[in-house]
Amino acid sequence: MSAVRPARREHPAEPASARIPFPVVDEVSRQCVRPGEAISVHMEIRLPGQPDPARLRTAFRAALRTHARALVREAPAPWYARRYAWELTDAPDVEPIRFPPPGPGALARARAAALAEAPPLTLAPPIRIEVIRSSPTAAGCVLLCTIHHTALDGPAFLRVLATTAELYGGAGNDPPAAPPTTDRAAAGTPTNGPGLDPGSPSARSARVAPAPSSDPNRRTGNGVLLGELPLHARPSGADHTVNDRLLVATCLTIAHWNRLHDAPLRPIRITMPVDDRPRGLDMPIGNGTRLVDVCFGPREYAPEHDGRHDGGHTSYPSPDHIADLLRRTARRTRELRAARRPPLGRGAALLTAPVLPVGVRAAFTRALGRAVGPWTSTTLLSNLGRIPYPLDFGDAGRASAVWVSAPTRMPRGLTLTTTGTADRLNVSLRWSRALLDDAAARQLYGLLDAYLAAVAAAPNPPPPGSGS
C-alpha cells in the first residue's frame, strides 16, 4: 500500500486563532439561510474500488492542512458584531468522513439526508463525506460529499479532493497551471447586437411553472436527479462553446415547460457562474466565482411563426432559429466573461459594508431578497466543464463519473449543474420540492435531453464576415 505523503501547504501555517472576515459572497449566503432549504453543494464521485478507511481519513486531513482555508468554522460573534469571521483551526472538530453500513438503499438514504441538511458552520470543516456501498460485496463505491456553500464552492472542494486523491494514491493529480477555456475574448461586440431582444431589464423574470407534490409531507427540502447524457462534439470552426449550448437548451427547456403549463411569457434569465481561478495548489479556496445573468427575451425563445406546433399548445423552434439563438448567446457570454465586476455585483458589496451590525444587515438583506424576488433569475446553470483532475485514488481506482449540484433556494427553485467525463455529460438537476415533484423533475430532464440533442444538431454556418 502506498503511504500518505506529507502535505504541501499553499500558504505558511497560521495560528489556530487566526480569523478571516467573511467575503461578500460568504456573508450574503450566511444571511440567507432559511429552514428547509440546505445551502449545500452536493457531490457524488463514482469509484471502481474501495478506499481504505484509515488511509482516506489521513489523506483528507493532510489535504485540509494543505488547503488551510477549508479547515474553518464560523467564529462566535454577538448580533451587534460588524463582521462575520472564519476561524482557522489546526484539526477537524468532528470526523468528516463516514463509512455507513452498506445496503441496497444506502445511497438513496444518504442522498436524502445530504439534501435535507448542510454541515454546521460552527464545526470545522463544514464538509461531510460518506463512502457508500450498495452491498458488503460490491466492487465499487460512491463518495457522497456535502459542503456548506457559505464556506466553499464546488470547484474549491474538487481541488481539496484532488489533493486528497494524490496523497492517498501517490499519483499526480495536478492539472495544468490554468483552467482550460474555449471562450475567445470579447472583441467589442455589444451584448445586444442587431436583432437581439433580451427583454427589458425592468421586466420580471420568468419563473419555472410549479408542479409540486399533492402530498404536503413531500413539499419541503430538495430533490436531485443525476444522469448521463452524450457530450455531442462541436463542429470544426464553431464559434460557440458547450456552455453556450447548455444555456440555449436550458432556456428552451424552461420555455417548453412553461408553455405546457400556460405560464406567462417573460424574459428567461439564467445565472451563470464564471470562475477564473487557477486549478493548481495555489487555487484560492472558498467561494471564488462571479455570477452573471444571461437573458433571453420572449421574442427570441418563443417566435410566433417559427417552428412546429403540437396540438396548439407547444412550439418547437426550427433548426435555423436554434442556430441563430446559439450565435446570439455565444456573443453575449463572450462579453459577460470578459467584463470584470464584483462576484455578486456592486449592490451586494454595499449590503455587506460593515457600517451596521451583522444582525441588522442580515434582516435588511432578507427583506430586500423578498422584495426583489420577482426579478431574481429564472434558474442557475453551472457548467464546471471537464474535471481537470484525474481523481486517482490508487488501489480504489480513478473516478469514472462526477456529479455536482448547487443549492436551489426559492424563488428560483431549480438549478442545473454539469461536468464532463470522457464523452459523457454528467447532469445534476436539483429542485425545491415546494416547486416540483419527482415526476415533474423527470419530465424536465427529458425535455433537456431532447433540446440538447436539437441544439447539437442545429446548422453551424460560418459567422458573418468570416469570408468562408
Cα→Cα distances 313→255, 297, 308, 450, Å: 12, 19, 11, 18
Edge-to-edge strands, sheet with 72-74 = 19-21, 85-88, 72-74
In this structure, the strands spanning 40-47 and 401-405 are: antiparallel
In sequence order, what are the residues at sequence separation of 6 or more whose Cβ sits closer than 8 angstroms to the Cβ of residue 174? 162, 166, 280, 281, 389
In sequence order, what are the residues at sequence separation of 6 or more whose Cβ sits closer than 8 angstroms to the Cβ of residue 304? none
Residue 258, amino acid: N
Buried residues in 286-322 as b, exposed as e (16+ CB within 10 A): bbbbbbbbbbbbbebbbeeeebeeeeeeebbbeeebb
pLDDT tens digits for the chain (468 residues)?
Answer: 444 444 444 444 444 458 999 988 888 888 887 777 889 999 999 999 999 999 999 999 999 999 999 999 999 988 888 889 999 999 999 999 999 999 999 999 999 999 999 999 999 999 999 999 999 999 999 999 999 999 999 999 999 999 999 999 876 555 544 444 434 333 333 344 333 455 566 788 999 999 988 887 778 889 999 999 998 888 777 889 999 999 999 999 999 999 999 999 999 999 999 998 998 888 999 998 888 999 999 988 886 644 444 444 455 688 899 999 999 999 999 988 887 766 666 566 666 777 778 888 888 778 777 777 788 899 999 999 999 999 999 999 999 999 999 999 888 999 999 999 878 999 999 999 999 999 999 999 999 999 999 999 988 765 554 444
247 three-state secondary structure: helix
CA 287-292-298 angle, to 5 degrees, is 145
The stretches of 21-102 forming alpha helices (DSSP H) are 24-31, 53-66
The Cα 421–Cα 390 span in angstroms is: 10
| pLDDT value for 152 | 96
What is the number of alpha carbons within 13 Å of residue 65 lying toward its C-beta?
A: 14
User: Is there a contact between 32 and 366 (Cβ–Cβ < 8 Å)?
Assistant: yes
CA neighbor of 457 nearest in space, from 244, 242, 251, 232: 232
The stretches of 171-261 forming alpha helices (DSSP H) are 242-260
Backbone angles phi, psi at 76, to 5 degrees: -60, 140
Beta strands in 117-186 (DSSP E): 127-132, 141-148
Backbone angles phi, psi at 316, to 5 degrees: -105, 120
DSSP class of 411: T
Query: To which H or E segment does residue 297 belong?
Result: none
In this structure, the strands spanning 379-386 and 268-274 are: parallel
Grid cell locating 147: 459542503
439 three-state secondary structure: helix
| pLDDT value for 188 | 36
| pLDDT value for 344 | 66
| pLDDT value for 16 | 46
Assessment of whether the complete model's pTM goes beyond 0.85: yes
User: Is there a contact between 143 and 107 (Cβ–Cβ < 8 Å)?
Assistant: no
Backbone angles phi, psi at 190, to 5 degrees: -65, 145
| pLDDT value for 348 | 66
274: alpha, beta or left? (left if phi > 0; alpha if psi -120 to 50): beta
| pLDDT value for 426 | 97
Grid cell locating 2: 502506498
Grid cell locating 122: 460552527
The Cα 151–Cα 239 span in angstroms is: 36
Cα Rg of the chain (Å, integer): 22
| CA 100 to chain centroid | 26
Grid cell locating 180: 482550460
The Cα 310–Cα 316 span in angstroms is: 8
